[in-house]
A and B are shown apart, each in its own frame.
Chain A
Amino acid sequence: MTPLAAILVRDMRIAVRVGGGALIGVLFFLVVVTLVPFALGPDLALLKRIGPAILWLAALLASLLALDRLFAADHDDGSLDLVLTGRAPMELVVAAKGLAHWLTTGLPLVIAAPLIGLFLNLDAPAAAALVLTLLVGTPALTFIGLIGAAIAVTLRRGGLLLAVLVLPLTVPVLIFGVAAANAAVTGPVPFGTPFTILCALTLASLVVGPFAAAAALRQEME
């Protein structure tokens, strides 16, 4: 097994075991989305109109939920020190950890979204568009979140700082994710325009995230 595959397998294994965060994200997602109809009342037309936005907001919050322990746990038990004595570049280690985190928290959100969308009166085409935008957009949320997780690694209350640092950076992803999901249902913009920009945002964050997070971790090591 290569070093990076070892990181990926280990992190996914920890996430699905006792105390891992794999299911927490989906449960949080479910709870937040379920609360919305209770707050707004059973106005089906309204729920349908704001449904994609609610689901995107809930997915954004849920994908940040378990992120604060991503590097902090490795820092606290000394794993991060040993990672630096490995021969794999820090940037790729960070990317492998991000991928493992997305596979265990981001991907379940994408899979659960059409089901949970039923609470918000989403029909099949809207649900399909939503799943597609979440599938493309949630990796961007995770990889932008990596930067915040790396900066907050030595702080006790890192989770709060993480949210404050990361949420503003996710605004473009949120705008174009929701715009694409809405465009598929209501128009007038074609689905492709915001969706392409969303893809571009994800590709950029896949590159920038690991480099920025690795630089932050190296700085914290001092």
Chain B
Amino acid sequence: MRLSATDLACRRGGREVFANISFSVAAGESLTIRGRNGAGKSSLLRMIVGLVRIAGGQLSLQGGDPELSVGEQAHYLGHLDALKPSLSVEENLRFWSAFLGAAAVDLSEPLRTVGLEALADLPAAYLSAGQRRRLSIARLLAVKRPLWLLDEPTSTLDAAAQARLGEIMRAHLADGGIILAATHGPLQLEGARELDLDGVSAPRHPAEVSA
């Protein structure tokens, strides 16, 4: 399996965010996306999911299911945690695993991996920001999908949880998965390649920047 992009371009609100982005990530590999604020890290991930229109270039997932779009084979971990405060931890996870297409799975295993098994019956409203993030990460474990698109995955996580996330990501890569992560901080992934959006962004006209 291989995710490849050639000359991707992104336009938001009539303004060019980036252009000529090319990369190729094979199964078992990860790519860290770096760049200053507004460089288009989140937009690139959302573009791969299918939430932002591709303004130019091509994106393909070779070796995937041809019946499904790239987004339908991907897990997207965005800034928002997609949790309902009135549902319990377990109900939130059960909903997403049912909706994203897992046949009846044992949810205690993913909850134990992220360290939330003791809070399974607690309404999500009472979770801290880091616990909410861990519950979102449990979703990636409950439903098997080859491509993980992680937007600032370590934000709000403490050191122990970051180390745990590192283990989870290495296990996913060892399993033949692909990870794309947009981050400012260090990710605990050995041999991760980097894509720097600052270097490849098209030069912008001064008038466009001020507007």
- Footprint of B on A, CB under 8 Å? 1-3, 5-7, 9-10, 13-14, 17-20, 76-79, 81-88, 221-222
Asked whether A77 lies within 8 Å of B71 as measured between CB atoms, the reply is no
Whether, in the assembled complex, B78 has its beta carbon less than 8 Å from a beta carbon of chain A, the answer is yes
Question: In the complex, what's the smallest C-beta–C-beta distance from A125 to chain B, in angstroms?
Answer: 41
Q: Are A78 and B95 in contact (CB under 8 A)?
A: no
CB contact under 8 A between A78 and B99, given known A20-B86, A85-B72, A222-B53: no
A114 to chain B: closest CB distance in Å? 31
Contact pick for A7, options B75, B91, B99, CB 8 Å: B99
Is chain A's binding surface mostly helix, strand, loop or mixed? helix
Check if B100 sits within 8 Å of A82, measured CB to CB: yes
User: Are A14's CB and B84's CB within 8 A?
Assistant: yes
**B71 — nearest CB in chain A belongs to which residue?**
A85
Question: Which of A20, A83, A222 is within 8 Å of B99, CB to CB?
Answer: A83
Complex: A84 Cα to B52 Cα, angstroms:
11
Contact A81 B78 (CB under 8 A): yes
B74 within 8 A of A: yes
Number of residues on chain B facing chain A (CB within 8 A): 29
Smallest CB gap from B85: residue in A: A19
Among candidates B49, B83, B91, residue contacting A84 with C-beta atoms closer than 8 Å:
B49
Chain A residues closer than 8 Å to B95, beta-carbon distance: 6, 9-10
Contacts A6-B95, A6-B98, A6-B99; A81 near B76 (Cβ below 8 A): yes
B81 within 8 A of A: yes
List residues 52-109 of chain B with CB under 8 A from any CB of chain A: 52-53, 68, 71-72, 74-76, 78-87, 91, 95-96, 98-101
- Does B50 belong to the interface (CB within 8 Å)? yes
Q: Do A77 and B99 touch across chains, with their CB atoms under 8 A apart? A: no
A residues less than 8 Å from B72 (CB atoms) = 85-87
* CB within 8 Å of A: which B115-143 residues: none
Give the shortest distance, in Å, between B13 (CB) and chain A (any CB).
10
Give the distance in Å from the alpha carbon of A5 to the alpha carbon of B101 in the complex.
12
Interface centre among A18, A20, A76, A87 (most CB of B within 10 A): A87
Which residues does chain A contribute within 8 Å of B79, judged by CB atoms? 78
A13 to B50, CA, bound (A): 29
